[in-house]
Amino acid sequence: NAGVTQTPKFRILKIGQSMTLQCAQDMNHNYMYWYRQDPGMGLKLIYYSVGAGITDKGEVPNGYNVSRSTTEDFPLRLELAAPSQTSVYFCASSYSPGLAGVVDTQYFGPGTRLTVL
Amino acid sequence: AQTVTQSQPEMSVQEAETVTLSCTYDTSENNYYLFWYKQPPSRQMILVIRQEAYKQQNATENRFSVNFQKAAKSFSLKISDSQLGDTAMYFCAFGSMGQGNLIFGKGTKLSVKP
């Protein structure tokens, strides 16, 4: 198993450009998440998905969009990039969010470091 | 809303010694999970240990153990026999039943010195 994979590892964008961060998992997890990590801070949730076709906003969704057409993939779209979106982005997945009485461990990808200039 | 506080931005420890990282949290829920994640310079987030709130017994994973004080809402991580490879950022995280995401603290940067 590759676990959670993310591409690219690094990217520099100009203000106003758009891009898609790719995330895939091969563990057949139903839940997937996008977090951002700003310098000196913990991770904050951008969007999450409970399964194919279902997504919901997290704490900091502005400036981002997501889609989930398959169980495996959960891309994050940045429209009109701004310097405030300079951050490290992590994708994660888990089997269960806790509805069955268990909060499953989240498994993280290696992250994408994005700089907007 | 739940919050997680890590009051030690940085700590250091000599190799082979023991160090304890602090974490406190705030919640009105009775059932939840707590996690410690390690983030080495590679940036990869790695699960260190997890604790279910309904279990009174403290979780242990090899050299890593927790001191879970539910009434005090405290969840500290003890690392015994510290190794150079333990140098990393350590994040405490709270997981709520029925809620998908984790709430993270700001992290503690641990340096293990030879």
pLDDT tens digit string along B24-81? 999 998 889 999 999 998 888 999 999 999 888 999 999 999 999 999 999 999 999 9
Q: What is the pLDDT of residue B2?
A: 84
A106·B43 Cβ contact <8 A = no
Residue spans of the domains in chain A: they are 12-98+106-116
Q: What is the pLDDT of residue A102?
A: 67
Q: What is the pLDDT of residue A110?
A: 93
Cα of B10 vs its chain's centroid, Å: 14
B44·A110 Cβ contact <8 A = yes
Return the minimum-mean-pLDDT range out of A46-60, A65-79, A91-105.
A91-105
Kindly state the average pLDDT of the residues B7-20. 97
pLDDT tens digit string along A13-67? 999 999 999 999 999 999 999 999 998 888 999 999 989 999 999 999 999 999 9
Just give the CATH number of A12-98+106-116.
Answer: 2.60.40.10
**DSSP label at A16?**
T
Q: How far apart are CA B92 and CA B114, in angstroms?
A: 25
Structure tokens at A8: 């690219």
How many beta-carbon pairs under 8 angstroms link A with B?
A: 66
Q: What is the pLDDT of residue A2?
A: 81
CB-nearest to B99 from A90, A97, A101 is A97
- Average pLDDT over chain A reads 92
Just give the CATH number of B3-113.
Answer: 2.60.40.10
Nearest chain B alpha carbon to A30: B100
Higher pLDDT, B45 or B100: B45
- Helix/strand/coil (H/E/C) assignment for every residue in chain B: CCEEECCCCEEEEECCCCEEECCEEECCCCCEEEEEEEECCCCCCEEEEEEECCCCCCCEECCEEEEEECCCCEEEEEECCCCHHHCEEEEEEEEECCCCCEEECCCEEEEEEC
Binned at pLDDT 50, 70 and 90, residue A97 comes out as low
Express as a percent the part of chain A with pLDDT over 90: 79
Q: What is the largest CA-CA distance in chain B?
A: 44
pLDDT at residue A98 is higher than 60:
no
Binned at pLDDT 50, 70 and 90, residue A95 comes out as confident
**Spatial CB neighbours of A40, under 8 Å, sequence gap ≥ 6:** B106, B107
Nearest chain A alpha carbon to B92: A42
- Mutation target to probe the A interface, by most A beta carbons within 10 A, among B45, B49, B96, B99 is B45
Q: What is the pLDDT of residue B90?
A: 97
Nearest CA among B21, B48, B22, B51 for reference residue B36: B48
Nearest CA among B15, B6, B4, B2 for reference residue B83: B15
Q: How far apart are CA B97 and CA B58, in angstroms?
A: 19
Kindly state the average pLDDT of the residues A92-114. 81
Q: What is the pLDDT of residue A48?
A: 93
A25: how many CB neighbours lie within 10 A of its CB? Answer: 24
